[in-house]
């Protein structure tokens, strides 16, 4: 049997595989480490519709002359998923009250929903709540989805755009002890919220670079590999959030000013520099 991947002959030696499904299963296990996924299938020069691929899994390989396998990067698949989410939001927004329920059910059963649940579980839950009428407005959700789409399509530019916000929130973290001491609770809470949001964004973009094949393992923050730096960052962040919940103002102030502010600055600058962005 001839096997082609994205149109090119593949040097694949079959061992115990007897069916098309067994070949695809072995290939998917290999693809997991490459940042790609199975995105299409063809048998004997006939394209197999997406909703019929599973029906081919039991086919005996002796009955197949040519197996065409198509793959796409996870980032491209996720970006396409987000485009479909935006289309679903637009349809939902203009639908009548009676139409909204079926639209929500149809979306939850779609391949885009499954992809979103895997790659962006927080966003998936947001969509579910919005379509059920319990969450934010569809317009607010679309704004967030558009942001995630930009992170996937142009992570370097999106990271570059965060520079001013990183600088601002780090300055506010350094002022957090004084805000707490002087009773500026609303400003302190806002600082924590903005800090959490921008930190999550930096982490997401780092993740996009990683699954997109960028050699993130080569990035260092000072002398520390970025993976180790992020692990330490997470540990300190957990300490900060715990101290904030316990209203330990002294510990919150110390961690925010002397730990989190410089760590966020250094992490953002290191990743940005590695991908060729402009340091602010």
pLDDT tens digits, one per residue of 142-172? 999 999 999 999 888 898 889 999 999 999 9
- Counting the structural domains of the chain, the total is 3
Whether residues 112 and 217 share a domain: the answer is no
Pick from 153, 179, 198: which residue ends a domain? 153
Q: What tens digit of pLDDT does each residue of 39-92 get? A: 889 999 999 987 788 888 999 999 999 999 998 888 888 999 999 999 999 999
What's the pLDDT at 11? 83
Q: Is 7 within the bounds of a domain?
A: yes
Of 30-39, 76-85, 260-269, minimum mean pLDDT range: 30-39
Q: How confident is the model at residue 13 (pLDDT cuts 50, 70, 90)?
A: confident
Whether residues 163 and 244 share a domain: the answer is yes
Q: Is 147 within the bounds of a domain?
A: yes
Average pLDDT rounded to a whole number, residues 273-279: 67
Tokens 């929130």 locate to 169
Whether residues 266 and 169 share a domain: the answer is yes
Whether residues 81 and 187 share a domain: the answer is no
- Domain span at 184: 155-274
Q: Is 280 within the bounds of a domain?
A: no
Q: Is 16 within the bounds of a domain?
A: yes
Say which CATH number the domain at 27 has: 3.10.20
Q: Would you say 152 and 77 are in contact if contact means Cβ atoms under 8 Å apart?
A: no
Q: How confident is the model at residue 280 (pLDDT cuts 50, 70, 90)?
A: very low
Alpha carbon 63 to its chain centroid, in Å, reads 40
CA distance 67 to 124: 34
What's the pLDDT at 33? 66
Q: Specify the higher pLDDT residue, 277 or 262.
A: 262
Q: Would you say 37 and 77 are in contact if contact means Cβ atoms under 8 Å apart?
A: yes
Q: Whole-prediction pTM value?
A: 0.78
Exposed e or buried b for every residue in 115-146, given b needs 16+ CB within 10 A?
Answer: bbeebbeebbebbbebbeeeeeebeebbebbe
Query: Hey, which residues does 217 pair with through a beta bridge?
Result: none
Q: Is 180 within the bounds of a domain?
A: yes
What's the pLDDT at 29? 75
What's the pLDDT at 230? 92
Average pLDDT rounded to a whole number, residues 174-180: 90
Whether residues 166 and 124 share a domain: the answer is no
Pick from 18, 47, 73: which residue ends a domain? 73
Whether residues 175 and 145 share a domain: the answer is no
What average pLDDT does the chain have?
A: 89
Average pLDDT rounded to a whole number, residues 107-125: 90
What's the pLDDT at 279? 45
Exposed e or buried b for every residue in 94-112, given b needs 16+ CB within 10 A?
Answer: eeeeeebeeebeebbeeeb
CA distances from 40 to 52, 68, 161, 247 (A): 11, 8, 35, 53
Whether residues 67 and 82 share a domain: the answer is no
DSSP 20: H
Whether residues 49 and 112 share a domain: the answer is no
- Sheet order of strands, 46-48 included: 8-9, 2-5, 66-73, 36-43, 46-48
CA dihedral 177, 183, 185, 186 (to 10 degrees): -120
CA distance 218 to 130: 40
For a pLDDT cut of 70, what percent of the chain falls above it?
A: 98
Evaluate if residue 249 carries a pLDDT over 60. yes
Question: Per DSSP, which regions of the chain are E strands?
Answer: 2-5, 8-9, 36-43, 46-48, 66-73, 220-221, 224-225
Evaluate if residue 31 carries a pLDDT over 50. yes
CA distance 240 to 233: 10
What's the pLDDT at 93? 93
Tokens 């407005």 locate to 137
Average pLDDT rounded to a whole number, residues 249-253: 90
Whether residues 270 and 169 share a domain: the answer is yes
Quick one: which of 231, 226, 228, 223 has its CA closest to 272? 226
CA distance 254 to 260: 9
Pick from 73, 89, 123: which residue ends a domain? 73
């Amino acid at each position: 049997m001839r096997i082609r991947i994205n149109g090119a002959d593949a040097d694949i030696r079959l061992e115990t595989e007897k069916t098309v499904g067994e070949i695809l299963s072995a290939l998917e296990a290999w693809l997991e480490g490459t940042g790609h996924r199975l995105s299409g299938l063809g048998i004997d020069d006939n394209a197999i519709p997406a909703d019929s691929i599973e029906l081919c899994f039991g086919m005996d390989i002796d009955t197949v002359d040519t197996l065409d396998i198509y793959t796409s990067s996870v980032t491209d698949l996720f970006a396409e998923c987000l485009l479909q989410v935006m289309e679903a939001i637009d349809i939902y927004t203009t639908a009548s009250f009676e139409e909204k329920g079926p639209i929500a059910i149809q979306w939850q059963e779609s391949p885009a929903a499954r992809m979103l649940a895997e790659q962006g579980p927080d966003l998936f839950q947001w969509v579910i709540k919005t379509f059920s009428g319990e969450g934010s407005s569809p317009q607010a959700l679309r704004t967030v989805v558009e942001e995630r789409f930009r992170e996937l399509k142009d992570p370097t530019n999106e990271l570059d755009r965060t520079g001013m916000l990183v600088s601002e929130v780090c300055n506010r973290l350094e002022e957090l002890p004084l805000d707490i001491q002087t009773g500026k609770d609303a400003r302190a809470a806002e600082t924590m919220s903005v800090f959490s949001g921008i930190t999550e964004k930096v982490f997401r973009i780092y993740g996009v670079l990683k699954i997109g094949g960028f050699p993130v393992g080569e990035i260092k923050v000072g002398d520390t590999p970025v993976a180790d730096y992020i692990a330490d960052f997470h540990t300190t962040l957990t300490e900060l959030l715990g101290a904030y919940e316990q209203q330990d103002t002294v510990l919150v102030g110390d961690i925010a000013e002397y730990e989190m502010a410089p760590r966020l600055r250094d992490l953002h600058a290191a990743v940005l520099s590695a991908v060729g962005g402009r340091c602010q």
